[in-house]
Amino acid sequence: MVSDPKTKTLVPINFEQIMENVPELERLNCRIKVHSFEDIIDSSNMSPAIWSRLAGLIQKNYDEVDGFVILHGSDTMSYSASALSFMLENLAKPVIFTGSQLPISAIRTDAKENLMTAIELAKAKKNDKVRVPEVCIYFDYKLFRGNRSFKYNSSKFEAFRSPNYPVLAESGVHLRFSINDIRHPNEDGELIVHKELVNDVAVLKLYPGISPKVVETIVNSDVRGIVMETFGAGNTTTDDWFINLLKGAIDSGKVIVDISQCKVGTVELGRYETSKQLKDIGVANGYDMTFEAAITKTMFLLSQFNDPKEIVKWIETDIRGELTVS
């Protein structure tokens, strides 16, 4: 991002402008191959169609490079990192998203350090093996698993957190990797790129006093999947009207995924009386998935399967390190 002198607003920039502001890139001991989209967009305009283009670019260049760095606005970065993690099956190379909180042209910008270290992480190897063969986010000296992260702060350099999973690496005088927390692919598996996502997904965020009309509008809408943000460990009201509406939606073929509004912890369907009925009627347990991971995983699975029961099975299965089954 740079500041437009005419409008005083922040606008996206291309890589040539980045090079002008970060001449240190030429000192890195690596060859950088650059691709810029013709239409540079703000991350608020991100979409599944662009995720598909990103996946296709990675597939096209996969055998030619050691790793990938994707420059991306921070607002929807966790959505994009989560989506790519599901779209890239058997990924064996780093795909690292990074960006900044301050424009790259600002004196105190965090963009330079984030970009330089992201490139270092993307090319990092030990014994000729890449250190982090995952889709990640690097921000403010920390490397996160992409589908475990979320943006929590719009005004600090420390913009992202991953409370339910450890950071994969930290940057200081040295790069320190959390070896036991890094996910490695099946060595015999080749990269499989899934370019299709189905965005027939709605969100039902619960609150005390939510009306039957609101719930009915959402669960009866023309979608195949619903991500339901519940209280605490996955709890909801036990009123008959609410349970009956959810059951009717599930019986009609919809998939409902239960994730918690809490940022730390996990859904435990059946632990409390207020979630036992959800389990009984077939609500899927989202465990400790982030909202971003739950949305993009549901989109991905809707593109892979037609059978709701099959989708529920894979929602509740860890496929890319996105959840911890309790």
Q: Answer with the residue of higher pLDDT: 299 or 26.
A: 299
Please give the average per-residue pLDDT across 46-55, as a whole number: 96
Q: Per the structure block, which two tokens stand in for 2?
A: 């740079």
The H or E element containing residue 10 is strand 10-11
pLDDT score, position 5: 39
Q: Per the structure block, which two tokens stand in for 52?
A: 């598909």
Please give the average per-residue pLDDT across 255-271, as a whole number: 95
pLDDT score, position 17: 56
Confidence of residue 11 (pLDDT cuts 50, 70, 90): very low
Map out the domains of the chain with their CATH numbers.
2-193 (3.40.50.1170), 201-315 (3.40.50.40)
Please give the average per-residue pLDDT across 202-207, as a whole number: 98
Using DSSP bridges, classify how beta strands 68-71 and 95-98 pair: parallel, antiparallel or unpaired: parallel
- What order of strands is seen across the sheet that includes strand 225-230? 201-205, 225-230, 255-260, 284-285
Please give the average per-residue pLDDT across 155-171, as a whole number: 94
Q: Answer with the residue of higher pLDDT: 274 or 74.
A: 74
Please give the average per-residue pLDDT across 35-43, as a whole number: 80
**Would you say residue 298 has pLDDT above 70?**
yes
pLDDT score, position 112: 82
Q: Quote the CA–CA distance of 151 and 137 in Å, as a whole number.
A: 11
**Overall pTM > 0.85:** yes
Q: Could you give the percent of the chain with pLDDT greater than 70?
A: 91
pLDDT score, position 4: 41
Using DSSP bridges, classify how beta strands 255-260 and 284-285 pair: parallel, antiparallel or unpaired: parallel
Alpha helices of 45-184 — where are they, by DSSP H?
Answer: 48-61, 77-87, 111-122
Q: Per the structure block, which two tokens stand in for 6?
A: 């005419």
The alpha carbon dihedral of 106, 107, 112, 114 has a sign of negative
Mean pLDDT rounded to a whole number for the chain: 90
Q: Per the structure block, which two tokens stand in for 212?
A: 């039957």
The tens digit of pLDDT for each residue in 210-249 reads 999 999 999 999 999 999 999 999 999 999 999 999 999 9
Q: How many helices (H) and strands (E) does the chain have?
A: 9, 18
The answer to whether the beta carbons of residues 173 and 118 sit under 8 Å apart is: no
Q: Which three-class secondary structure state does DSSP give residue 307?
A: coil
Q: Could you give the percent of the chain with pLDDT greater than 90?
A: 74
pLDDT score, position 19: 57
pLDDT score, position 107: 73
Please give the average per-residue pLDDT across 5-34, as a whole number: 57
End-to-end alpha carbon distance in the chain: 41
**Running DSSP on this structure, what letter comes out for residue 195?**
-
